[in-house]
Each structure stands twice: as C-alpha cells, then as structure tokens.
Amino acid sequence: MANIERIRNVAGRVKKERDQGNGVVVVVSAMAGVTNQLVGYVQEISGLHTPESWREYDQVVSSGEQVTSGLLALTLNEMGIPAQSFAGGQIPLKTDNSHGRARIASIESAEIRRALDKDIVVVVAGFQGITPDGRVATLGRGGSDTSAVALAAVLKADRCDIYTDVDGVYTTDPRIVPAARKLAKISYEEMLEMASLGAKVLQTRSVEMAMNHGVVTQVLSSFSDEPGTLLVNEEDIVEQQKVTGIAYSRDEARISLTGIANVPGMSAKLFTPLAEAGINVDMIVQNVTEGDGATDITFTVPRSDADRAIKVVEGLHSQLKYRSLHSDKAVAKVSAVGIGMRSHSGIASQMFQALADKGINIIVITTSEIKVSVLINEEYIELAVRALHSAFGLDKE
C-alpha cells in the first residue's frame, strides 16, 4: 500500500466485493517505503547482534502494518461500511519465538468469524503475530503475503487476492526484459521456484502455504482492474511450455575450498556449523579430481551472509585442513523454471548454449526436476536473463 489514495482505492475494492454479497477479510501491509524506513531506524541504533535486539526490531518494524490497518478501517467506516482492525496479536495469530523471521504456529479464527457474522469487514495487520512470550513477532520481509494466505487457509476462504505493485507474475522481470509476458496461470510449484530463486512477487512461504492448503490465490495489481495471475495445480495448466519463466538473483556469493581430504564426514563438518550459524547455503558442488584424492567444495550463500560464512569457514581450518579458501561476492544466479522440464529433455544444454553464444562463463550449475540454475559473473546477469528469455521462446511477439 502506497499512501492514503491507495488506501481509498483498497476501500473501494472492498466495497465492490461486499456489494456482491461477499464477506471480506483484508490483510494489509505497510505503506510504500515505511518498513524500509523503520528497519533503517533500527539499524542506525543497533547491529542486531542479540536476541533482545531482534525482539525490539519486531516491535518497531511491525508498526507500519498497524498504521495501515487502522487507516483502512477508518476509511471504510467513513464510507458507511462497518469495519474493525486487528493487530496480529489481537486475532491472535500465534508464532514461534524466532523474532525477525517467525513462523506461524496457529491462528485463532473465532474473533474474526464473530465479526464476519455481524457483517463487519475485518482488517488485519499483516506481517505480524504474537510469540508464546506475548511479544510481537514479524514473519520476515514480504510476510504480509504469508499472513494473507494463512488466514485464507484457516477461514477456508473462496479466494485469496494479493494486490501488489506488479500486476501479476511475468515470465521474467519486465524491467530487464520489456518483452516479458504476464502469465494467466502458473503452477504452485513453478511459483515456489520462481519466488525462492529471486522473483520478488510473493514471499516464498506464502506460496508454499497456498500449495499445501490448496488456497486459490491470485496476484493482481492494486493500480488497475486487469486480470492478474492465478496460482493453480499443475494439472490445470493445459499447454505446458518447456520453460515457464526465467528468475534471477543478485544476492549471491560464492565460497570455494580446495584440497579437503576425501574421507567421510568432511561435508558434515563444514555445513553443520554454517547451518548452526543460521546461514542458508544454496548451491553446493563437490568434486574429486584424480590424483591426490582431495576434494574441492564450492557453495553459495546470500551475499549479506558472506562475511559471516567466511568467518565460520576460517574457524574450521584446523578441522578441515583445506588448502585454500576463495570467495567471490560479484556473482549472480540465473534460473530457467518450468514443469515442462519433467517431460522434455535438453533444456539444460539449450540453456548452456544460449549463454555460450553470448560469451558468458558458467561458474556453478545446479538442477532440480523443474529448474536449472547457473551461477555467473554478476556483470552479465541482465544479458543472461535476456538471452535465456528469448532462447526459450518467451519473448512477447
């Protein structure tokens, strides 16, 4: 939500739904830029090195949603529509204790149902819940998507419409490829891959939740009335493309270790401490070269965690006895995603050829059933996205 004008706009949509006889629960996010500003205030004061500081982080950054929820309820009331706002803790939407990236434990729906029964529009502050200790917790950036889908699942809503500042899910980022096309439908699984691979349309967890609970979810623009993108089951996509979309992420860093003894337990010794440090390792490649029998391991982490990861690895030198440690923060990942890969072969080779034709060097490759990802030099990321988008026939005519 951007500003007061957009709040009025949302109120208008709520009215339309209500006029059609629908009960409406609205989950709001903060107004544009507000959460970033709040995070900025916190970071000016604290390096966020303690659990207590994250607790206060949540107290501060959750406030943006609370403001919008009250303003939207007020706007509706002014229009003669009965509405009531709820903070996460007032529902209550219960979370675990992981401040800053809490997971939803349960949602009490009685209070909301009571309001709906009285024909009151329920306005919920997204992105937040309450911990077992009774503190406010936030669900991680973009978390209001997850609040919305979770509420839709609990209330068994007919539909969950997510209004964003893009008007749907595109074959790739339209800012990089103007010929990108809006998808009328995308399967949950593809959306999950696209979201976790860097497409910033929906929070990854919201997609996971929509998929697991079969929530009919639609991504729409808050600015226009055009149809958006519907998330559906794989079977509901009639004509499967080989590749549905190209995702990319600049938030990558590479760490490589050479000359690790090729004996059982080395990878566990490396990755367990990284996991314990809360570092999310993404791509992993291990390779044994003939000869001295030593192995090389390369992996990637979010760029923001790179320095911490390197520290952890340096601390493991006495155990792992690696020969050398290299890192590179100027890398990026580009991925081709599509359920069509299950039935078509040659997608990976076509991808490598398209990159080769542009002279782009591939550093790491990983694949799953429905995606191929490659790590490349960050400098070439836009070129790579464009090349792959047209190589897989995704450009709009």
Q: Which residue in 72, 73, 145, 191 binds ligand ASP (CB under 6 A)?
A: 145
64 binding partner (options ligand ASP, Mg ion, none; Cβ < 5 to 8 Å by kind): ligand ASP
Q: Does 84 bind ligand ASP (CB under 6 A)?
A: no
Residues 43-72 that bind ligand ASP (CB under 6 A): 64
The reply to whether 95 sits near ligand ASP by the rule CB under 6 A is: no
Q: What is the DSSP letter of 230?
A: E
Q: 143 Cβ partners below 8 Å, 6+ apart?
A: 126, 127, 128, 203, 205
Window 320-349: residues binding ligand ASP (CB under 6 A): none
Q: Which stretch binds Mg ion (CB under 5 A): 107-115, 127-135, 142-150, 389-397?
A: 142-150
Q: Name the residue nearer to ligand ASP (CB basis): 163 or 248.
A: 163
Q: How far is the CB of 127 from Mg ion (least distance, A)?
A: 9
The helix or strand, by DSSP H or E, that contains position 261, with its residue range, turns out to be strand 245-261
Question: Token digits for 288?
Answer: 């044994």
Q: How far apart are CA 366 and CA 344, in angstroms?
A: 17
> Percent helix, strand and coil across the chain, each rounded to 5?
40, 25, 35
DSSP 325-345: EEEEEEEEEEEEE-GGGGT--
Our finding on whether 142 is near ligand ASP (CB under 6 A) is yes
Query: Is residue 144 a contact point for ligand ASP (CB under 6 A)?
Result: yes
Residues 5-34 that bind ligand ASP (CB under 6 A): 29-30
Residue 333: other Cβ atoms inside 10 A: 26
Return the H-helix or E-strand segment holding 364: strand 364-368
Cβ 208 to Mg ion shortest distance, Å: 16
Q: How far does Cα 113 stand from its chain's mean position? A: 29
Of the two residues 88 and 338, which places its CB atom closer to ligand ASP in the complex? 88
**Beta carbons within 10 angstroms of residue 372's beta carbon:** 22
Among 127, 188, 248, 299, binds ligand ASP (CB under 6 A): 127
Site map 181..220 versus ligand ASP, x via CB under 6 A: ----------------------------------------
Radius of gyration of the chain (CA): 23
Q: Under the criterion CB under 6 A, does residue 141 sit at the interface with ligand ASP?
A: yes
Query: Which part of the chain contacts Mg ion (CB under 5 A), choosing from 4-12, 138-146, 220-228, 353-361?
Result: 138-146
Answer for the pair 337, 245: CB distance below 8 angstroms, yes or no: yes
Number of chain positions touching ligand ASP (CB under 6 A):
11
User: Is 249 or 350 the residue whose CB approaches ligand ASP more closely?
Assistant: 249
167 interacts with, out of ligand ASP, Mg ion, none, CB within 5 to 8 A per kind: none
Rounded to a whole number of angstroms, the minimum distance from the CB of residue 145 to Mg ion is: 6
CA distance 326 to 47: 27
Residue 30 or residue 210: which is nearer to ligand ASP going by CB?
Answer: 30
For 82, phi and psi rounded to 5 degrees?
-65, 130
Q: 3-class DSSP state for residue 28?
A: strand
Choosing among ligand ASP, Mg ion, none, which partner's interface includes residue 198 (Cβ < 5 to 8 Å by kind)?
none
| 107 burial level (CB within 10 Å; 0-12, 13-18, 19+) | buried
Residue nearer to ligand ASP on the CB measure, 68 or 335: 68
35 touches which of Mg ion, ligand ASP, none (CB within 5 to 8 A by kind)?
A: ligand ASP
Q: Which CB sits closer to ligand ASP, 127 or 163? A: 127
Residues whose CB is less than 8 angstroms from the CB of residue 84 and which lie 6 or more positions away in sequence, other chains included = 73, 115, 120, 121, 122, 123
Residues that bind Mg ion (CB under 5 A): 142
Residues that bind ligand ASP (CB under 6 A): 29-30, 35, 64, 126-127, 141-145
